[in-house]
Amino acid sequence: MIKLSNVFKEYKLDGEIFAAVKNINLSINKGEFIAILGPSGSGKSTLMHLIGLLDNPTRGTICVEGKDVSKLSDSQLSLLRNEFVGFVFQQFNLINKLTVLENILLPTIYSKQKFSASPEERAFSLMERFGIKEKATSYPNKLSGGQQQRVAITRALINNPKVILADEPTGNLDTKTGDKILTLLTELNREDKITVILVTHEADVAVRAKRKIQIRDGEIVKS
Domain locations in the chain as residue ranges: 2-222
As a whole number, mean pLDDT of residues 85-105 equals 96
* Nearest one of 75, 53, 55 to 64, comparing CA atoms: 53
User: Could you give the percent of the chain with pLDDT greater than 90?
Assistant: 88
Q: Where are the alpha helices (DSSP H) in 35-174?
A: 44-51, 74-84, 100-105, 119-129, 145-157
- The answer for residues whose C-beta is within 8 angstroms of residue 59's C-beta and 6 or more apart is 6, 7, 8, 10
- The answer for residues whose C-beta is within 8 angstroms of residue 14's C-beta and 6 or more apart is none
* pLDDT of 110 over the 90 cut: no
* pLDDT of 112 over the 80 cut: no
As a whole number, mean pLDDT of residues 209-218 equals 96
pLDDT band at 222 (very low <50, low <70, confident <90, very high): confident
CA distance 221 to 216: 7
pLDDT band at 116 (very low <50, low <70, confident <90, very high): low
pLDDT band at 109 (very low <50, low <70, confident <90, very high): confident
CA distance 74 to 142: 36
CA distance 171 to 82: 24
Q: How many other CB atoms are there within 10 angstroms of residue 190's CB atom?
A: 13
The per-residue pLDDT of the chain, averaged, comes to 94
Strands (DSSP E) found in the chain: 2-13, 16-28, 33-37, 59-64, 67-68, 85-89, 163-167, 195-200, 211-216, 219-222
As a whole number, mean pLDDT of residues 184-198 equals 96
As a whole number, mean pLDDT of residues 125-143 equals 97
Tell how strand 59-64 and strand 67-68 pair up: antiparallel
Check residue 99 and give its pLDDT: 98
- The answer for residues whose C-beta is within 8 angstroms of residue 72's C-beta and 6 or more apart is 80
Give the strands of the sheet with 2-13, arranged side by side.
Answer: 16-28, 2-13, 59-64, 67-68
Check residue 6 and give its pLDDT: 97
* pLDDT of 46 over the 70 cut: yes
For domain 2-222, the question of CATH label 2.30.30.280 is answered with no
As a whole number, mean pLDDT of residues 41-60 equals 94
DSSP structure string for 100-133:
HHHHHHGGGGG-----SS-HHHHHHHHHHHTT-G
User: Could you give the percent of the chain with pLDDT greater than 70?
Assistant: 98
pLDDT band at 180 (very low <50, low <70, confident <90, very high): very high
Q: Give, rounded to a whole angstrom, the gap between the first and last alpha carbons of the chain.
A: 17
